[in-house]
Each structure stands twice: as C-alpha cells, then as structure tokens.
Structure 1
Amino acid sequence: MTTLPIFIVLLGLLVTVSNLSNIPWDNEPLGQTMESLSADTSVTFSNPDGVPLPKRGDYEVEVREDDMTVTRASTGETEDLHLVVRMPKGVEGKVPGIVFMHGAGYGLAKDWFIDVGDDFASAGFATIAIDKPVWSTNDATRDYPASADAYEQAAEYLRALPNVDADRIGIYATSESTWISALLLQKDPRIAFQILVSPMVHTPRHSLGFLAAQDFALVGANPGYQSIVRRIFSADTAALGLTNFDIDTDTPRAYAIPTFVAYGSKDVMTAQVEGAERIFERAHAAGNWNVTVRDYPVGNHVLRIGDEEEGDTKLADHFEDDMVDWAVGTTRGLEQTDVKVAGADIYQSIAVPKDLHGHRTLTFYMVVLHVAVVIMLLVAVILWLIALCRRLHGRFSRRHRDDRATRGRLGFLNGFGNVIAVLFLTTIAVLYLFVSGLAQVVMEVVSLIWGAAPSSPDIVYWSWPVIQTVCTVVVWAWARTLARLIEVAQMHGYTRMGVRDFARQARSGELARRMREPIIATTRFGRVLFWVTAGAMLCVLLMFAFWGMFIY
C-alpha cells in the first residue's frame, strides 16, 4: 500500500522530465525527389571557333611544394602550412587556377586532393592544396572566418605566379568547407567559379541534424535513440561558447558565380533535394543562371565508390571528366549546351529540420545534470571501493583475529546494505548498456557514412526497451526502499509525533537522543555511503529521463 503510490509518484516525475525535455520533430519519410533530365552526366559546350579544348590527361604535371604562414585574425595566432602546387607543363599563356578546400577533420596538402589535383593540372589548370588551417581549434571550435582568410591567401599565392591568370581562379570545396566557401566568396570577389562536392547548404545545426536523424533511421536505431538527436541539436551551443552551429553562410554571393554541384546517390549525409533547390533559388536571385548539378550513381559523400574504411577507393565514374570539362568550358566563357540536372534522380528521405533552434534553459539543465551525474557517480564508486578495501582488510588482517568479524563492517541496519548494493550495481549495468547501445548506433552510422551497407538492427534497437524495462524495475526497487524507510521511521515513532510532542521532546533533549538512534546504519561511513549512492542513482535516472527513456 505504501510502495505503489511512491512508485507512481517517482515514475510520474521521470515521465514528466522526459516530456519536458522532449523536442517535437517531424522526421517521417517524405521521399522528396528532383528528377534528372538525362542519365548522361557529360558536360558539353558550344565551340564556334573550333579550337580544341584541353581535357584530363592532355598535359604532364609538375609538382612544387612550399610553405606559407596564416594568421587567425580573432586571436593573432599563426600557423605554418605546407602547400602543394601542381602546374601543367608546356602550356602557352596564362592558365586558370583551382584552390582546394578541405572537408571535415584534418588534412595535409601532401595527402589530399592528389587525384583531382592531377586531373585539373593535366587539363591546363594551376592547382594549390594547403594543409587544413586549424590553429588551436578542434572540430567543434573551428574558426570558419579565419579559415576563409587562409584559403584567400592560398588564392593570392596562385595569383602571384607569373603564368596564372589572376581573374580565373576558382575553388573546389567539399562537405564542411562549403560553409567556408560562402565566407570566402564574400571576402574575395575575384573568385571566378566554384565546384561544390556534396555541399552543406543549410546551417550546421540543420545540416548535421538532418544527417544524424536520417542515418540513425537508416541503421535501424530505436526511436528512443533517434529522439536523442533532437535534444542534442537543440542545444544552445552559443551559451557554451560554440558559435559555429548557427553560422550564417546564406550570403548573397554564395552562389552568384558559375557553380558545379556534384552529389553521390549513396551519400547519406547531405540533404540533396532541398540543397539543390536552395542553390538554384539563391543563384537565380543573384542573377546567376550558370548552375550545373550532377548526381552520380553509387557515389558516396565524397564522390567515391566502395567502403572507404577498406582504402583504395576510386572517384565515381565520369565525375573527374565532367568537372574538368565544366571548368575548362566555363573559364573560357563558352555556352553550355547540356542539361543542367543530370545523372541519377536526386532523392531525399526526410525534410531538413529547419525549425531546430537552441533552447537555453534545456541546455543549462542538461549541462548541470550531466556534471552532477559524473561527480556523484565518481564519489559513489570511490566510496564503494573504500568499503570493499575495508571489508577485505578486516577479513584478511593477521592482527586482532578475534574481532575480525566486526572489522570493516559498514553497520547497515534493516537490510539497507544489500538493497543499496544491488541497486547500485543494477543501475551501473543499465548505464553501461545505454552507453553501449548509443556507441553501437554511432559506429553503425560511421560505417554507413564511409560507404558500408547498413547491417541488420541488433543492439541498436532492442537495447532501448531492455533499458526501459530495467529502469522501471529500478524505480520500483527505489519505491520499495523508500517505503522501508517510512516503515522504519514509523517503528521509531517519528510518523506518530505531533507538533506539540515534537516541541516537548526538542526542549527536553529526548528528540536529539532519538535522532541519534541509527535507522540506516550504525556507522557514519555507512550512512554517507547510502545517501551518496542514493543521490547518484537519482541523478542517473534523471539523466535517462532527460534523454527520453520514459516516453519512447
């Protein structure tokens, strides 16, 4: 009769927390499609003068290496970057140029853009690749405006070469760098054209929110794990000092120059339909009608074929020829004669969550709660280790053998010792299962991004209902524990004490004597261990509730 009401109250509290932290989000499949106008991805131009246009492989390539120093304007921090320049041999006159821009992660000039660098250089372009400018930042704190300055400096390096046409410098940007390219075009109006590979057109919050939601669904993650995406991407990161999440890259000049957009049909990271639609819309608003979109069958996010974890992957069929041919014709001012959208039909499974925004109160609650979980769990684990050491020391001590039965005891009364130990171990096991299930989902998503086929759902689906079931049992066990505390308090007469009795016993000192009578444990260490463990378990349950454990 006592346990059931307590259980209902505790469960109601946790369900309320789950509902208050829930972020509504419609990620039902929509199946948006932009139909291709032709399966043939080749790029053609009218050539009234009949002058043969250079193609990939026409020239031998000369490779030069150098170094440059870039400065982070916001802090004055400098970084020395290595650069690799590729030049065509035997070309008369000044040649156009390409600046390569890195995607996510870290990249060195000597390791990246080798194949596409040779492609463009062998068709008569000067190309430059630099080490990715990172300074003292990481993936979360990357300085995009400073990165744009560094790539502008690389463009100026090309312009300074005697055989390069300074007014025909373009950029090749992929994935994350397409946020930086918009800033670069705003800074450097002389950039003449751009090739965008899997461009992230929307803000990082919306683009990455789309990526995570779609990929969690593709790997078969339980809807509970999918709800975690909503909470993460609703964090007010600006309050935590991370401003990139909502950086505005929708600048007027972002698509105001000739643009070649390349997608892969196996790309599971990019919102291709809504991205292409926005590019066309923004380009046309800026008076630019020179936008070409190609979608390559079987190509992944970086237009490669196969599982990149296995290495030695090749670029999608025809992609290299198409982008080079487009750049050659565009830099010569020729009129394009093929269709603007070609290749595979462009498909997008769900909508971009454009209504996502930062929730400051929810963010502070999340941070405080998780800090409390870490601290309380750490303290609880340390106390339990101390208790175990005391127990072992008392059992195996050679001295005072006669009282070794009492050595190391915690003095728990009324069965609270066994209860708290079982609850602690059970909650830790549930926490481990939760972290393991989430880690498995992330690993499956990473494999999917690298080009692997989705595997059949296993722990990524069934671990969630298992955790829910065990959590409910833990809540019931806590209700039983609280009911036992009430029962013991009743046995000691605390629940029958009126206000007058309380005052009388307080004056006489009897209340102080009664309160010194142990209820949970006879030792101070045992009582501290009990309440610290109880606080840690409450924090863990509240954390589970925050992530939606009690509503999905």
Structure 2
Amino acid sequence: MPQTAQIPQVWGRGRRLMVSVPIFIILIGILVTVSNITAVPWNKEPTGQTIETLSPNTAVTFHNPTGTPLPGRGSYKVVSRHVTIKAKRPSTGEVQNIRVLIREPQGAPSGRPGVVFMHGAGYGTCDNSFGDVAFDLASAGFATAVPDKPVWSTGNVNRDYPGSAAAYDQIINYLRSLSSVDADNIGIYATSESTWISPYLLRMDRRIAFQVLLSPMVYSPRQSLGFMVAQDFALTGAHAGYQSIVRRLFHVDSSMLGLQNLDVPTQFDVGYSIPTFVAYGSKDVMTAQVDGVRKILDMAHHAGNWDITVRSYPVANHVLRLGDEADEGTALSDNYVTDMVNWSQGTVRGLKQTSERVAGTRIYQSIVVPSELAGDRPLTVYGVVLHIATVVLLLAAAITALIALGLKLRHMIRRQEGRTLGFARGFGNALLMLTVTTMATVVLFVAGLGQVIMAVVKLGWGGAPVEDPGMMYWSWPVIQIVCTLVVWAWSRVLTRVIEEASARGLAQLPPRTGELKAVVTGRKPVVASTRLGRVLFWITTVAMLHVLLFFAFWGLFIY
C-alpha cells in the first residue's frame, strides 16, 4: 500500500506556552546566576564619619623669639627663568627633556629655602601648573621649581611612580646645586596623584626637609579610586545598579593585563617622617579625608614624627580651588596660600608652632575606604573572555548582515529572482525586531553610564550635583525590564525553532530519515531556505545572547 504523507502538526498556544516558559526560566536563571556570581560585596560602613577640628581658624602661627617678622607673600619681587633637565627613567633608561620654571625672590639673602612642585593627574607643564602658588612662595623668599610632568612614554594607567620620584629628585638636586639655596632646606609640594609618588621620593632622598600635601591619596590607587568612584556615583544620584559597576570594575586583576599601578604600594611610614602640612577642601569628592588623616597620623607617629599640621577649608575642591576647576582663573581657597606660606616659613626656621594642629571646617567622609578591594583573577578571566567573544560575535553578525544587504541590493538592481535569505515563517522579522531592541538597550545602557561618568567628572572639577539625576536613575530599571522582555521574546523564538524542528522529525531520536539532509540543504527549511539566512540567524542569535550575558556580568539581572 502506498505510504500516506505525514502532515506536520501545528502547535497550539497552550503547547507553545508550555515549551516557552521552561526555556524562559532556564535563560533567565542563567543570567540571574551570572549576575549574582559576578556581584562583589562591598562594605561601606561606617558612613558619615567626621573629625572635629580643634579650631575653626586655619591661621598658622609660631613662637618667634627674635620678634623679627617673617617674610610673607609679596615681600620680594620675583624673577623667573627656564632650565632643561634630562630626566632618566631608571627602569628603562628612557630620557625625557623636562623644562623647569625656576622662580626666585629678587634681593633675598642667600641660603634661602626651596620647594619643588609635583604634578597631580594629567599632563601638566611648567608653564600651566602651580603658577599662583609658586609665585607666592617665591615672593615670600623661597626658590621654587615647577617642572613638566615626568611621563616618558607612559600613560595615565601605567605611570612609573618610582621613576617619577627619581625625576623629581633630579630637580631637587638641581636646586641644591644653586649657591643661593640652602641644600638642606628644600621641601616638596605634592597634590593628588603625586602623593602616591612622594613616599617613594622620601624613601629615596632623606634630606628633604618638609612637605605640603594637597588632598593626599594615602591609600593604594585601587582603594583610593574605588572609594572616589563609589562615592561620586552615589553623589550624582545614579541608580545603585550603576554604583555596583564600580565594585566589579575595581576587582579586576589588572596585573593580568600588564598594569601594576592599581596595587602599587604607597603606604610607607617614611613618607610621613618629616614636617608635613596637609590641606583638604570640604567640597573635595575624591579623597577619603577622615580615613586619610587617621592613616597619615598613624604612619607619621610610627616614623617618630609628630610635626603634622592639618587644615580643612570650606567650599574648596580637590585642588583647594573655589568653584569649578574647569573654569579658567578659579581662585584658591581663602587663606590657604597665606596659611601654607606661613607654615613653610616657620617650619624651615625650626620655630615652635603655637596654632592648633588640626583646624578649619569639620572633616567629613561619606563612606569607608574599601580596603578589602583586591584583584579577582577568575572574575577577570571570565569578563575578558565574555567581552572579547561578544565583540567578535557582534562584528561577525554585522559583517554577515552587510553581506546579506549587499546581495539583496544586487538582486533588486538586477531584478533577479530568488530569495537572498529565505527566512521561513516570520523568523526574519522576529530576528530583526529582537536585534534592534537588544542593541537599543545597549545604547541606553551606554548613554546612562556615560551621563553618570560626565556627572562624576563635573563633581571632580568642583561642580555641584544635579538636582534631578534623570537618565542616571531611571535608565537602569528600564533596561532591566526591557532585558527581561527580550529574554521572554527569545524564548518564544527558540520555541518556534523547536516546533519547526519537531515538525521535521528532528526533535526525535533518531531523527526522521532524510529530514536532516532536507533541512541542511534548505529544501525543507526550519529557519531559512538559504545557507546565508541560516548563518545570519544563528550568528545574530548567539551574539544577542552574549549581549544579555554582558548585561548579566554588570549586574542588570539582579532584581
């Protein structure tokens, strides 16, 4: 008897739902598990720490037995000149020609003290850095040296801190070589990032007489930057989800990537073994001030040094300026320069300080320094592999889509018959819709994170937080909702694939005779009748699922 052709059975809504739900649960379970496994616990307690100052008056005074007034700002006219120093990087032998702007007090007696300035982050030069402070110190009788920042061939992420210390020491030795300067009375003026360099310098050169530290970063770069970014993300009003990105980011094992600076040791007792003037601004959103003061005092006392003066100035930002540092001509905090110059004058003369050691506005810190931060190698390996795979798959999907578009246009121009992709039963439209939705979610994620970063940068320059965080807050839950809906949509698409495969006899063991070949050749397609269509569908599907894994890595599936 002749065989009756088998008619594929169409699944009803109930059966499709019964298959879709388990697929959705499996997919969402995988993504939620990834988000929770990659989550990093972070102890922010105690919060709202303070140190009460001993006096609101920041003035620095000394007992002066002679009664002769000490030189102050404007006591001398200032003359300046440039010199060039060949700074050699010890680790590589690389040489950088560093221009140094020397300012000296005209008519001041010989044996004058000196100060070498050390740059914070960025690429400061001798002509655009520390001009006002260096001039004021020179007008008070100090020889000052402001160099180009020693960077050689390094960038912001691979600075050579010990090498930079050696370069600054060359400049100190140049000042010592001047007949008008007291070689044993030279100090340093370090700010922000350079306070990671100053401990190396003091360990290298024990003749340095004193130091002025603006917003010292005390802890390791990983801990200091982790504190700064976590605090600033919160201050901007960013959603807690964006804040959780910081935890994952600062648990990266940077040594795997050839970057050692995150964990470079910076906490040396010898770095605080000399008379030290520490200055903070109350609007500084980058420095852990309470923990910093405690750590500085602890290390100084271990080194046998009790000559530590701390000043906290109201309204001032990270570099002791009033207002947004991005604006040209932003003034320094009231009284700061006068206090710093007076402290330097009394210190180089060995006078006894009569003013309070800790003075100014109350010192405040919002969260504790995350001292538990450390590199997590398994997390880093997974993250690197995931991100590389996602980029590669997205590029492959984009290239395949461009090829398909090119063939489609050629068919249209030549009016050729035949289908370019031959998607079956709406798979093409579903693939396009889900791809556009998923990538639009990526754009929203990048836009939200970008807005948070811009707000953090503005805070760092001394700007005020916005009253309404807007996208920085609402974009995170929106992305979470869209991602969940996308996962459900993908489960429905995969259900349709299973339905079509089942109708072809591919979902049974063993597969129906001849059906596998018919599907592979496109004669009886499950997804598409052309090889290009099938390749595009599966590459794009896998790429989009990797995008969801990317979201899971950064915590978007923690509800």
Fold match by TM threshold 0.5: yes
Question: Which amino acid letter does the alignment assign opposite residue 486 of structure 1?
Answer: I
The answer for the alignment partner of 1:535 in structure 2 is 542
Does residue 171 in structure 1 map to residue 188 in structure 2? yes
Does residue 464 in structure 1 map to residue 487 in structure 2? no
The answer for the alignment partner of 1:440 in structure 2 is 451
Does residue 278 in structure 1 map to residue 295 in structure 2? yes
Question: Which amino acid letter does the alignment assign opposite residue 198 of structure 2?
Answer: S
In the TM superposition, what is the alpha-carbon distance from 1:240 to its structure 2 partner?
1.1
In the TM superposition, what is the alpha-carbon distance from 1:149 to its structure 2 partner?
0.5
* SS of alignment partner, residue 267 of structure 1: coil
Whole-Å separation in 1 of the counterparts to 2:454 and 2:206: 41
> CA offsets per residue over residues 302-321 of structure 1, 9 Å max, x none?
00001122221000000000
The answer for the alignment partner of 1:453 in structure 2 is 464
Match of 1:413 among 421, 424, 427: 424
> CA offsets per residue over residues 177-203 of structure 1, 9 Å max, x none?
000001000001111100000000100
TM-score by length of 2: 0.94
Question: Which amino acid letter does the alignment assign opposite residue 550 of structure 1?
Answer: F
The answer for the alignment partner of 2:556 in structure 1 is 549
Contact 2:231 2:366 in 1 (8 A): yes
After TM superposition, list the pairs within 5 Å mapping 1:124-163 onto structure 2.
124-163=141-180
Question: Which amino acid letter does the alignment assign opposite residue 105 of structure 2?
Answer: P
In the TM superposition, what is the alpha-carbon distance from 1:394 to its structure 2 partner?
2.3
The answer for the alignment partner of 1:520 in structure 2 is 527
**1:28/1:469 Cα in 2 relative to 1: closer, same or farther (>3 Å)?**
farther
In the TM superposition, what is the alpha-carbon distance from 1:376 to its structure 2 partner?
1.2
Does residue 251 in structure 1 map to residue 263 in structure 2? no
**1:219/1:511 Cα in 2 relative to 1: closer, same or farther (>3 Å)?**
closer
Contact 2:506 2:516 in 1 (8 A): no
Contact 1:27 1:213 in 2 (8 A): no
In the TM superposition, what is the alpha-carbon distance from 1:511 to its structure 2 partner?
5.1
The answer for the alignment partner of 1:382 in structure 2 is 399
Does residue 299 in structure 1 map to residue 299 in structure 2? no
**1:349/1:511 Cα in 2 relative to 1: closer, same or farther (>3 Å)?**
closer
Whole-Å separation in 1 of the counterparts to 2:321 and 2:507: 72
Structure 1: tracts of 5 or more residues without a match: none
Question: Which amino acid letter does the alignment assign opposite residue 493 of structure 2?
Answer: T
The answer for the alignment partner of 1:19 in structure 2 is 36
Whole-Å separation in 1 of the counterparts to 2:507 and 2:83: 82
After TM superposition, list the pairs within 5 Å mapping 1:330-345 onto structure 2.
330-345=347-362
* SS of alignment partner, residue 55 of structure 1: coil
The answer for the alignment partner of 1:483 in structure 2 is 495
**1:8/1:166 Cα in 2 relative to 1: closer, same or farther (>3 Å)?**
same
Does residue 77 in structure 1 map to residue 89 in structure 2? no
CA-based RMSD: 1.3
**1:231/1:381 Cα in 2 relative to 1: closer, same or farther (>3 Å)?**
same
* SS of alignment partner, residue 269 of structure 2: coil
Structure 2: tracts of 5 or more residues without a match: 1-17
Q: How many residues align?
A: 539
The answer for the alignment partner of 2:250 in structure 1 is 233
In the TM superposition, what is the alpha-carbon distance from 1:520 to its structure 2 partner?
1.1
Contact 1:222 1:462 in 2 (8 A): yes
Does residue 430 in structure 1 map to residue 447 in structure 2? no
Match of 2:383 among 366, 371, 382: 366
In the TM superposition, what is the alpha-carbon distance from 1:75 to its structure 2 partner?
1.4
Match of 2:344 among 327, 336, 342: 327
Contact 2:504 2:515 in 1 (8 A): no
Whole-Å separation in 2 of the counterparts to 1:513 and 1:199: 71
TM-score by length of 1: 0.96
In the TM superposition, what is the alpha-carbon distance from 1:495 to its structure 2 partner?
2.0
Question: Which amino acid letter does the alignment assign opposite residue 308 of structure 2?
Answer: V
Whole-Å separation in 2 of the counterparts to 1:144 and 1:542: 37
Match of 2:280 among 263, 287, 292: 263
After TM superposition, list the pairs within 5 Å mapping 1:105-124 onto structure 2.
105-124=122-141
User: Structure 1 vs Structure 2: percent identity of aligned residues?
Assistant: 58
* SS of alignment partner, residue 317 of structure 1: coil
* SS of alignment partner, residue 261 of structure 1: strand
In the TM superposition, what is the alpha-carbon distance from 1:124 to its structure 2 partner?
0.6
Question: Which amino acid letter does the alignment assign opposite residue 145 of structure 2?
Answer: I
